[in-house]
Amino acid sequence: MERPVGLERACRGGEAPDVGEVIVPGERIMQRLDELAAEIAAAYPGGELTLLAVMNGALFFLADLARRLPMRVELTTVRVRSYRGREVRPGGAEIVGELCDDLSGREVLIVDDILDTGSTLDLVAEAVASQRPASCRVCVLLRKGRPDARPARADFVGFDIPDRFVVGYGLDLDGWGRNLTDIVALTEDAGDRK
């Protein structure tokens, strides 16, 4: 099996869950970000954008995407809690605190790491809509192929991936795996092990 890039670094000083296969190699992410940035730039000819990142998972994606966008960008964040501890099944999503900026009249692009059930993005989109932005679209790095997925919900998608629990490139399991370079799937029982 291919060895995930960054595994030794991510494991040093602690226990790691069982890592399965590499789903998206880091270098493929970088290539796709160039394409995504071009798609986004073409969709905003007015050339001004407010990126609203869902923390913490979207942090690396936001940083790499924002640096590729050929336009004026403002950054703002929202924190959503949707998984607790090592639980790998979706729970109810909730916004932690407030949306930090006034989004009225702005072109808002919500940036998140992964679209799974869609409850996180529904919640954030609703909170943005209540501030009457000029527009609100959604960009996700990953979209899971769930049977009940509604694909129209994300306007920009990096990769469609299988319905597996993944970590790396900003995504974690209970704090583990965020700083992997590749995006990797965990083995089936990884979330249950303490």
Task: Provide the binding-site residues for ligand 5GP, judged by CB under 6 A.
Answer: 54, 57, 82-83, 90, 93, 112-120, 165-167, 171-173
Of positions 4, 6, 57, 118, contacts Mg ion by CB under 5 A = 57
Determine contact, residues 104/137, Cβ cutoff 8 Å. Answer: no
Of 78 and 103, nearer to Mg ion (C-beta) is 78
Q: From CA 19, how far away is CA 67, in angstroms rounded? A: 30
Q: Shortest approach of ligand 5GP to residue 46 CB, angstroms? A: 28
Q: Are strands 94-96 and 72-81 parallel, antiparallel or unpaired?
A: antiparallel
- Residues 27 and 33 sit within 8 Å (Cβ to Cβ): no
Q: How far apart are CA 175 and CA 47, in angstroms?
A: 36
CB-wise, 118 or 133, nearer to ligand 5GP? Answer: 118
Question: Token pair of 12, please?
Answer: 């040093």
How far apart CA 9 and CA 31 sit, in angstroms, is 23
The smaller minimum CB distance to ligand 5GP, of residues 41 and 95, is found at 95
What residues contact residue 165 under an 8 Å CB cut-off, 6+ apart? 88, 173, 185, 186, 190, 191
Instruction: Find the shortest distance in angstroms from Cβ 46 to Mg ion.
Output: 28
When CB distances are held under 5 to 8 angstroms depending on the partner's kind, the choice from ligand 5GP, Mg ion, none that residue 118 binds is ligand 5GP
Residue 181's binding partner out of Mg ion, ligand 5GP, none, with CB under 5 to 8 Å set by partner kind: none
Smallest distance, Å, CB 121 to ligand 5GP? Answer: 6
Give the interface segment with Mg ion, choosing from 7-15, 28-36, 53-61, 147-155 (CB under 5 A). 53-61
Catalytically annotated residues: 116
